[in-house]
Structure 1
């Protein structure tokens, strides 16, 4: 039975490869259509690549004041135990998560137990470990305090308070029956800014209603909101494209950019910071718009005003909505002005999607080979 199941899976993969290789320019490695259906849940799932958190370490347990009284020794002496230590809050890099959706805005660690009589010490609290994506930068007061660039790296964000000592600890030659103890110390409190160094391999850049969300729906199982009004996408959506060589490319649908974004107009700086976390940029343009060159110049200008390095990253220009009248002529005019080949696609009808996915995989592989 196990062999037959594997055989069916292999046949499915071969079927997908043959289907896409007819339209793709890269027959050796082609994108596979997801076999699993999209979720029918109405609740959208956003991708959080930046998070402000407040952390509070656990309070130590208080010491105990107690005097032992036995039937044969009424004054057996002090027997108050020490309190347990409070728990730490630890950020640990893990590949099990890829964003900060699960991280709360306020994180508290557990408190240590109080000491008890008969020299019973309180139990130490367990440390609170928060898993965060590999490649997270931790900032405090806008200064980098940790760079969790590989798996299992940890950073103690807040230390727990030490447990207080009981009266047994304070016995001395001159004080045989101390009636004093210590309160448990409070845990550290701090505020941090968590940022992902890389959000996705490819980021879609473009004006509102250029068809970025429709394109992401066409190539992945992501379900970004699609509507006819501006700023439909307010937060990034991530989709994963699977290829026949078992590799994956993560693609981000970013909020729309408008003139003056570098001055914080529209979604402004927030949008540009999302784009900064994508090593490869895909300019998605509405092919039905007559003056495509002005849109292209505006996009480049906004990126340059925010960061020269961001504007110089590898990029691909695609003209979406080639199914609309006049789009082919507009694309030819843009090619003459920018002197770069423009890929015409249709996210709605799937035109040239296989060719598009082959090109972004080629860009991703080239970027990885140049940076290793």
Structure 2
């Protein structure tokens, strides 16, 4: 919007009104080149994306003994013009966390109606996808398929920070472990390490461990080793053939109910 010019008898021109754009909580501001600027996470947060111009000076400011009615004025300065890229952090109750090709997208397709791209090469998922898991009592739980993580993600390796930002808003984490790989327990420790390096306490959120690709011959042995080395319960599934997904959905609902109950008690 533009301000108004000055009027006779030393009257100032009216200022232009601020242009305010409301955005959802969790909005990230980046430059055109992708450089991070800020993020708005709290109610009432704001960011000045571009400053308006400065008003000029009228002929009154150029009065002198020689010039009693100067036909001169000063133009105001132009306002800023910027291009900003806005990104919204994924809003989901649970986030699927795993290395590329762990089967996260296939798993999301198996438990929801979401249809993320699936292919047999790394980094098929370049942006988060959110699917709604439906229950018989009409409850729905949002689950996000987060782009694959690699070692060094907290230092912006691979999809790096762009991956980790979306994890921040998830109340629970679902670690998807590829049971076709040797030493699967190392996947879990590496994933938790990257999360903790990015944000202290992030890896300690409520979580479940999912052992995927149970349809493969080596999966049974690796499942046993994963349970033995981590001393954690592991939910075995084959996302490809949709086996074990019911147990996963039941466990997810239990996690959801516990978190929801804690929130209600806290509000009371």
Q: CA deviation at 1:81?
A: 9.1
SS in 1 for 2:147: coil
SS in 1 for 2:117: coil
* Deviation digits for residues 10-58 of structure 1 (CA, Å, limit 9, x no counterpart): xxxxxxxxxxxxxxxxxxxxxxxxxxxxxxxxxxxxxxxxxxxxxxxx4
2:169 match:
277
| TM-score, normalization by structure 1 | 0.56
Larger radius of gyration between Structure 1 and Structure 2: 1
User: How many angstroms apart in 2 are the aligned matches of 1:342 and 1:234?
Assistant: 27
RMSD: 4.0
Q: Using CA pairs under 8 Å that are at least 6 residues apart, name the structure with larger relative contact order, 1 or 2.
A: 1
2:22 match:
131
User: How many angstroms apart in 2 are the aligned matches of 1:370 and 1:188?
Assistant: 47
| TM-score, normalization by structure 2 | 0.74
Q: CA deviation at 1:189?
A: 6.8
1:206 match:
98
Say if 2:245 is the partner of 1:360. Answer: no
* Deviation digits for residues 109-139 of structure 1 (CA, Å, limit 9, x no counterpart): xxxxxxxxxxxxxxxxxx3x43321354779
1:17 match:
none
2:151 match:
259
SS in 1 for 2:22: strand
User: How many angstroms apart in 2 are the aligned matches of 1:269 and 1:156?
Assistant: 21
User: How many angstroms apart in 1 are the aligned matches of 2:201 and 2:131?
Assistant: 25
Q: 1:176 to 1:243 in 2, by over 3 A?
A: farther
Say if 2:209 is the partner of 1:350. Answer: no
* Deviation digits for residues 139-166 of structure 1 (CA, Å, limit 9, x no counterpart): 9x9897x85645xx57473564476687
Q: How many residues align?
A: 257
Say if 2:86 is the partner of 1:86. Answer: no
2:231 match:
339
Structure with greater proportional strand content: 1
Point out the more displaced range, 242-251 or 315-324: 242-251
